[in-house]
Amino acid sequence: MAESLEGIGRALVIGLGRAGTAAARALAAAGVEVIATDVRPELPDDADIPGATIRFGTDGTADVDDVDLVVPSPGVADHAPAIRRALRLDRRIWSEPELGWRLHPRPVLAITGTNGKTTVTELVTAILAASGLPAVACGNIGYPFTDAAAHEAEGTVLVAELSSFQLRWCETLRPAVAGLLNLAPDHLDWHGDLLAYGAAKARIWRAQGDSDVAVACVDDDAGAALARAMVRTRLVWTSGRTVPENGVGIADGVVVSRLDGGVGTAIAALEGEDLPAHHAANVAAAVAIGLLGGATPAGVAAAVASYRPGAHRFATVADGGGVTWIDDSKATNPHAAAAALDALAGRPVVWIAGGRAKGVDLSSLAPHLGSVRHAIVIGEAAEDLAVVTDAQGVPTTHAADIEDAVATAANIADAGDVVLLAPACSSLDQFADYAERGERFADAARAASQEVARGRR
């Protein structure tokens, strides 16, 4: 058995998604007796775990007494009965990335934040690769940290996207560079309140030592305050609006590094006159993390020039009859939706929003509705959103689903308008995930755009 698992003879893994399955396999391979549970009635096709006892239709609470370690999947909240019992019995609780780090310590650059994690993780990985450094994106991005730590070639840098759910149960995971992009209310149904959510995010810096570096965005008041309070090592600031001293930022559309404390070195030019401010902040953060992780200026410039954000991130999916359709389905909380709305300030917007609010107060969207001339609301949060839009004098229509919302928007939108899907909510009330929501919006938008272009409104 691995030295890092000393004293652990039996472990309970709760939830058999990708992360849980990876954790269960790693524990079983290390010689630990594994009990794996899932509330679903049958095993997912890809969840084969040799040597493990698998129990379906249970949340794991009944097994906590008989184990030394509990590894909860990201969807298992602090207030879940199994976790409450594990805490009462003083059982060790590790997230899947914490387990992976203990089993296979590797060079890690870690990224967290309410929004932008995947974009920055992908860009940092591209920056390192363009600099000739082997790197792989892992963690919350879809490739379990434990699998990456166990199977990637020696010397490969793990660029880890870490969610608040994963960080909540991290103790010893020590990133050489750890960045917090921003902090805004989200997942409060899981964490309980913003204080607990912020505390979970701050654990990305928990195990860092004197040789490690923390990164935070000076533009984001809440994230910056958390960094000032919690970071105990070198802190590097980034900005999408200016160039911080000893940090990385944007000046006149150019990424500038002052990491050497000098007047600043131009690293890369940003393309696009209408680049959203939040994307500029993401680029600055990625460049800082990449440079601190050993990237070269030439590698940074090449990666930034070629990088494009993934699908469903403020992407234009149709443009016909003078109406532009933008898919920002990844805007799953008010902070992200506000950034999308602010990026369109001054342009008339027909806004499609709604879904599952995750316990978050949607009223924070009110100051960002100045360009919204009509709102279309869907899903569980439709009524709550309507309260916000009505209070701001924004005409509001309820739609049954995303296709109905698109059809309604096509009838409302005039030439020069932008139809924006920026839901401010998760997709899990009506869709498998944000990607399905975005794809259905895009398909319906393209069809509607073609009809508008033909003059058949």
Give tens-digit pLDDT for 391-406: 999 999 999 999 999 9
pLDDT digits 0-9 by tens, 357-413: 988 889 999 999 999 999 999 999 999 999 999 999 999 999 999 999 999 999 999
Residue 97 clears pLDDT 70, i.e. is over it: yes
Percent of the chain with pLDDT over 70: 95
pLDDT interval class at 457 (50, 70, 90): very low
Q: What are the domain boundaries of the chain?
A: 9-93, 98-306, 315-453
Residue 273 clears pLDDT 60, i.e. is over it: no
Structure token pair of residue 146: 């434990």
Residue 181 clears pLDDT 50, i.e. is over it: yes
Residue 58 clears pLDDT 70, i.e. is over it: yes
> Mean pLDDT throughout 32-45?
85
Average pLDDT value over all residues in the chain: 92
> Mean pLDDT throughout 212-233?
97
Predicted local confidence at residue 205, as pLDDT: 98
Predicted local confidence at residue 228, as pLDDT: 97
pLDDT interval class at 44 (50, 70, 90): low
> Mean pLDDT throughout 37-56?
81
Residue 120 clears pLDDT 70, i.e. is over it: yes
pLDDT interval class at 43 (50, 70, 90): low
Task: Choose between 51 and 64: higher pLDDT.
Answer: 64
3-state secondary structure the chain: CCHHHCCCCEEEEECCCHHHHHHHHHHHHCCCEEEEEECCCCCCCCCCCCCCEEEECCCCHHHHHHCCEEEECCCCCCCCHHHHHHHHCCCEECCHHHHHHHHCCCCEEEEECCCCHHHHHHHHHHHHHHCCCCEEEEECCCCCHHHHHHHCCCCCEEEEECCHHHHCCCCCCCCCEEEECCCCCCCHHHHCCHHHHHHHHHHHHCCCCCCCEEEEECCCHHHHHHHHHHCCCEEEEECCCCCCCCCEEEECCEEEECCCCCCCEEEEECCCCCCCHHHHHHHHHHHHHHHHCCCCHHHHHHHHHHCCCCCCCCEEEEEECCEEEEECCCCCCHHHHHHHHHHCCCCCEEEEEECECCCCCHHHHHHHCCCEEEEEEECCCHHHHHHHHHHCCCCEEECCCHHHHHHHHHHHCCCCCEEEECCCCECCCCCCCHHHHHHHHHHHHHHHHHHHHCCCC
Residue 176 clears pLDDT 70, i.e. is over it: yes
Query: What's the fold here for domain 98-306?
Result: UDP-N-acetylmuramoyl-L-alanine:D-glutamate ligase (3.40.1190)
Residue 105 clears pLDDT 80, i.e. is over it: yes
Class of domain 9-93: alpha beta
Residue 169 clears pLDDT 80, i.e. is over it: yes
pLDDT interval class at 187 (50, 70, 90): confident
Task: Choose between 10 and 276: higher pLDDT.
Answer: 10
Residue 272 clears pLDDT 60, i.e. is over it: no
Residue 444 clears pLDDT 80, i.e. is over it: yes
Residue 297 clears pLDDT 60, i.e. is over it: yes
Predicted local confidence at residue 388, as pLDDT: 96
Predicted local confidence at residue 456, as pLDDT: 45
Predicted structure pTM score: 0.85
> Mean pLDDT throughout 175-191?
85
Predicted local confidence at residue 451, as pLDDT: 80
Residue 305 clears pLDDT 70, i.e. is over it: yes
Predicted local confidence at residue 225, as pLDDT: 96
Query: What's the fold here for domain 315-453?
Result: Protein-Tyrosine Phosphatase; Chain A (3.90.190)
> Mean pLDDT throughout 422-432?
93
pLDDT digits 0-9 by tens, 228-268: 999 999 999 999 999 999 999 999 889 999 998 877 889 98
Predicted local confidence at residue 310, as pLDDT: 76
- Check for a shared fold between 98-306 and 315-453: no
